[in-house]
Amino acid sequence: VGGGGSDGGCDCAFDDLTSSGLMNKTHSTTLKMNMFGTLKNLWRDYRINTPHYCSLDSGDDCDIKCNFDSEGEMIEEMGIVLGMYEIPMGHMTDKEMKEVAEEMFCNHKYWPGDHLEAASPAEASFWPIHPTLDRLLQFKEIVQPFTVKDWDGDDDNSKTCTTEGSQCKGHNPYDLTFWKTVTKESSGLYKIGYKSNQ
């Protein structure tokens, strides 16, 4: 829902990867369709820098900039990304891997839109969907409450985040909400306080 976008260079850049013979259309489309998540993870790992502010006339100031210490580090990161999406890379030279990385990560304007994690509010369709789901959940709780509210996950429920080194605040079982909420206790009294995911 929503989708992502760029300054128009996204389609051309990924089409160029196919026309140059670096990868087939299926692989370049896979990379293109996963750019939002890829860029998010690179930003979390301090591999790219995003602009703090953009306007229609800001030009190159709105480009995403790479933040690799060396060319080798960029090539290594590109190998991780290609491997994650199971895209063959054994035929590529280091120069070609760098070319692909520069097309994907550096000097392009991308903007979020997908309903994915904390970026969801950037997409206009988020605003009618999210409160509607909240209301439906509240209605379910009023009409026929859930009987089991366990936090299901892996063996170690403290590791609900998928990115190592990320704190992923708000995603773990005992993380508290940012705002206080008024809730009705089992005693029938109302209480104001922070809630957890438990």
| % of the chain with per-residue pLDDT over 70 | 73
Alpha-carbon radius of gyration of the chain? 21
With a cut of 80, say whether residue 56 has pLDDT above it.
Answer: no
| Banded model confidence at residue 31, pLDDT cuts 50, 70, 90 | confident
Q: Cα–Cα distance between 179 and 195 in angstroms, integer?
A: 9
Interval 130-154 mean pLDDT: 80
pLDDT tens digits along 82-121: 988 888 988 999 999 888 888 777 877 766 555 666 667 7
Q: How far apart are CA 6 and CA 155, in angstroms?
A: 40
Quick one: pLDDT at residue 1? 47
How is residue 72 written in tokens?
Answer: 């080798």
Rounded CA separation 156/159 (Å): 6
Q: Which two tokens stand for residue 193?
A: 């306080």
What's the whole-number mean pLDDT along residues 169-193?
Answer: 79
Residue type, 99: E
Contact 110, 38 (CB under 8 A): no
The tokens of 46 are what?
A: 């301090």
Q: Is the model more confident about 106 or about 142?
A: 142
> Mean per-residue pLDDT for 173-185?
78
Q: Are 31 and 85 in contact (CB under 8 A)?
A: yes
Spatial CB neighbours of 82, under 8 Å, sequence gap ≥ 6: 88, 89, 100
Query: Which of 21-30, 44-53, 54-63, 114-123 holds the top average pLDDT?
Result: 21-30
The identity of residue 128, as a single letter, is: P
pLDDT value at residue 93: 92
pLDDT for the residue 49:
87
